[in-house]
Amino acid sequence: MGEKKLSVNGARLRASIEELARIGGTSGGGMHRLALTDEDRRARDLLQEVTQASPASPWPLYLLARAQRATGDLDGAEKSARRLLELSPGSVSGAHALAQVLTERRQFAQVIEALEPVIGQAPEGRDADVALLLTHLGFAYQELGQFDKAVGAFDRAAALDPADPSQGYYLGQALVAAGRFDQALSYIRLRRATRPSDPRLARVEADALRGKGRV
């Protein structure tokens, strides 16, 4: 008998591609891998076929990198992301995809190496996207114990995307990690004035007070 072919439902396949891209774009993408179906894997394979047919098209490469990460193929995801950056130097999407893979591998020095030049030459009008890259950069600095640089990255991210409530939390955390407790308290209390019910901000405030020896 010949190789069994997978019967593919077009609507389900499109949904799988979208879902794989979504999963691959989350910080915990790997948590979803055990739930992947044959259709999901077919979606990944289809993206591979598309990129082979149109190797100079950046967007399919970005989707493929995210799909590969969602299915646990970190080597493939890194290769696709780096290929995207070769095609489009300075690509914010390519840098994001690469940073996710390197972060999952805990290769934080490489995250910094990959992101700093892209952030420095990012085009106008991409503030939210650049803020996302700065967030990756801040976490990488923090993991390497470079707390003041982490504060700088999160501060820039919060300024670029003030509507994202997570940015205030990240910056507050970084200030506490840097031992800048008074700054952390001032900043977090300012943020809590507009978000009094956010438990994350309350937790950072408690950490800052504890750092000052007041809790």
pLDDT-derived band at 36, boundaries 50, 70, 90: low
Q: What's the pLDDT tens digit per position in 37-66?
A: 666 677 777 777 777 766 666 778 888 888
Tell whether the model's pLDDT for residue 23 goes beyond 50. Answer: no
Q: Give the pLDDT mean for 203-214.
A: 90
Task: List the one residue out of 75, 89, 103, 80 whose CA is nearest residue 21.
Answer: 80
Q: Give the model's pLDDT for residue 203.
A: 94
Q: Could you count the other beta carbons within 10 Å of the beta carbon of residue 126?
A: 14
What are the structural domains of the chain?
A: 10-105 (1.25.40.10), 115-215 (1.25.40.10)
CA atoms within 13 A on the CB side of 55: 5
Q: Give the model's pLDDT for residue 51.
A: 75
Q: What's the pLDDT tens digit per position in 131-176?
A: 999 999 999 999 999 999 999 999 999 999 988 889 999 999 999 9
